[in-house]
Amino acid sequence: MEKRIAVLPGDGVGKEVSRGAVSILRAVGELYGHKFQFLYGDIGGGAIDEFGTPLPQQTIDLCKASDAVLLGAVGGPKWDMLPGHLRPEKGLLKIRKDLGLYGNVRPVQYYSSISGVSPLRKEVIEGADMVVVRELTGGLYFGKPSERTMKKGEASVVDTLFYQKKEIERVIRYAFKLASSRRGKVTSVDKANVLESSRMWRETAEEVAKDFPQVQLEHMLVDNAAMQLIKNPRQFDVIVTENMFGDILSDEASVLTGSLGMLPSASVSVDGPYLYEPIHGSAPDIAGQNTANPIAMILSAAMMLRMSFGMEEEAEAVENAVIQVLDAGSRTRDIADFGNVPVTTEEMVEEIKAVLLDHEAICNIMSAYA
Ligand code: NAD
């Protein structure tokens, strides 16, 4: 197969982990006879420095002409003082909008070999395997008006939570399809005891559920969901929720496994290319040190192989190589237990690549950490 992949490394560790993911994808291409063409574009702080905007038009064009987009991370203290419209993060919001990315998909999986880095006890987190699907284009973050006013010396402020029913339906339908290919359970999270928008969300979930009789639907209030994620994360299969609830809950879910450096994500659209990125930011505190964990980015590339290219076997091979390397004891600094000597970003990538290309390689890696 031939595929065009837009690579937007961005800032900070985004550059280091993107290099790692591309290296793994080259190995996949070599192993399975695929031709991946990597086309590089600018986004974030680096793009501001070079083009005066966090998302230049040529980057948008490049993404639209590609089969999938791999994004590292954007941002950093250098650009923190710029006005809002010129901040690196604006590039993220714009690319989501320009590519019509309506849902963010975050798998949260427990890895037994690194259970020690989870803030939860092993018996609580063991076996957890869920996906959080967050609506990305509507809700409080985009509704108008969003402004402050001053009347007779009294300041007031308003943000607007606006959804079209079709936006709600689209993302809930995605969640049901996903659940059909997993354990068959959707938890729809809302605040229907207070918000009218949540009541419409709940009704829509009930309507969509009729088309998926094999999937069990449960409703959960967002405050309870925040608690249940910590108390009993194993109960969840697919969680679907609106933009702001999803923003908060998906970050909460992501720390369950212990490190931001482990978690991939995909953002899906109706007919454009999907975008794949680790959930972490540009990590300015460790940028340039060759210590970042590349696994979130590599697993994002595996999601791309599966979801955009239909390469299930290749995706599994990458995921299995990651698991084997972790099981063998290899750790970057963020997931290292007391007593582990951490490997560098590049060493982790090389080990995963070695296991992918040669099954015997794991024996050498295991003996190195024995
Ligand atoms: P962050 O995710 O960059 O870092 C939070 C903590 O996690 C830091 O201690 C960092 O060292 C660690 N960390 C992150 N990724 C890691 C990895 N791969 N390996 C090991 N450790 C890792 O979040 P932050 O510090 O709040 O934000 C830093 C910058 O990134 C800000 O400018 C922020 O706006 C931006 N940001 C960008 C994105 C994105 O591009 N999608 C997401 C979040 C934050």
- Tell me if 18 CB under 6 Å of ligand 1: no
Is residue 76 within 8 A of residue 282, CB to CB? The reply is yes
14 C-alpha vs ligand 1 centroid, how far in Å?
A: 9
Quickly count: other Cβ atoms within 10 Å of residue 326's Cβ: 20
- Determine, yes or no, domain membership for 267: no
Residue 338 one-letter amino acid: F
- Determine, yes or no, domain membership for 43: yes
Residues involved in catalysis: 141, 191, 223, 247, 251
Residues 35 and 88 in one domain: yes
Quickly count: other Cβ atoms within 10 Å of residue 145's Cβ: 10
- Tell me if 266 CB under 6 Å of ligand 1: no
133 C-alpha vs ligand 1 centroid, how far in Å?
A: 21
87 C-alpha vs ligand 1 centroid, how far in Å?
A: 15
pLDDT tens per residue, range 40-61: 999 999 999 999 999 999 999 9
- Tell me if 265 CB under 6 Å of ligand 1: no
pLDDT tens per residue, range 221-246: 999 999 999 999 999 999 999 999 99
Name residues of the chain where pLDDT drops below 50: none
Look at the chain and report how many structural domains it folds into. 2
pLDDT of res. 281: 94
Residues 198 and 288 in one domain: no
- Determine, yes or no, domain membership for 110: no
280 C-alpha vs ligand 1 centroid, how far in Å?
A: 5
pLDDT of res. 217: 98
- Determine, yes or no, domain membership for 11: yes
Report how far residue 331's alpha carbon sits from residue 107's, in angstroms, rounded to the nearest whole number: 21
Residues 78 and 130 in one domain: no
- Determine, yes or no, domain membership for 106: no
Residue nearest ligand 1's atom 5 by CA: 283
Report how far residue 247's alpha carbon sits from residue 249's, in angstroms, rounded to the nearest whole number: 6
pLDDT tens per residue, range 300-329: 999 999 999 999 999 999 999 999 999 999
Residue nearest ligand 1's atom 42 by CA: 281
261 C-alpha vs ligand 1 centroid, how far in Å?
A: 9
Residues 121 and 93 in one domain: no
Report how far residue 44's alpha carbon sits from residue 46's, in angstroms, rounded to the nearest whole number: 6
pLDDT of res. 2: 97
Q: Which of the listed residues 262, 280, 347 should we mutate to test ligand 1's pocket, taking the one with most ligand atoms within 8 A of CB?
A: 280
Residues 138 and 220 in one domain: yes
Stretch (H or E) spanning 180:
helix 165-180
- Tell me if 286 CB under 6 Å of ligand 1: yes
- Domain boundary among the residues 259, 294, 315 is at 259
Q: Which residues of 263-280 are buried (b: 16+ CB within 10 A; e: fewer)?
A: bbbbbbbeeebbbbbbbb
260 C-alpha vs ligand 1 centroid, how far in Å?
A: 8
- Domain boundary among the residues 233, 259, 285 is at 259
Residues 23 and 144 in one domain: no
- Tell me if 334 CB under 6 Å of ligand 1: yes
Residues 229 and 316 in one domain: no
- Domain boundary among the residues 225, 259, 293 is at 259
The residue ranges of DSSP E strands in 41-100, in sequence order, are: 68-73
- Determine, yes or no, domain membership for 324: yes
Residues 276 and 330 in one domain: yes
The domain spanning residue 120 has which CATH number? 3.40.718.10
- Tell me if 261 CB under 6 Å of ligand 1: yes
Domain with 204, as residue range(s), is 116-245+252-259
Chain position carrying tokens 């007391």: 338
Residue in 210, 203, 219 with CA at minimum distance from that of residue 165: 203
CA-to-CA dists, residue 265 to 152, 182, 219, 260, 261, angstroms: 47, 17, 24, 11, 12
- Determine, yes or no, domain membership for 111: no
Quickly count: other Cβ atoms within 10 Å of residue 213's Cβ: 7
Is 151 in a helix, a strand, or coil? strand
Q: Which of the listed residues 70, 95, 260, 331 should we mutate to test ligand 1's pocket, taking the one with most ligand atoms within 8 A of CB?
A: 260
Residues 121 and 234 in one domain: yes
Is residue 302 within 8 A of residue 318, CB to CB? The reply is yes
Residue nearest ligand 1's atom 11 by CA: 283
- Determine, yes or no, domain membership for 151: yes
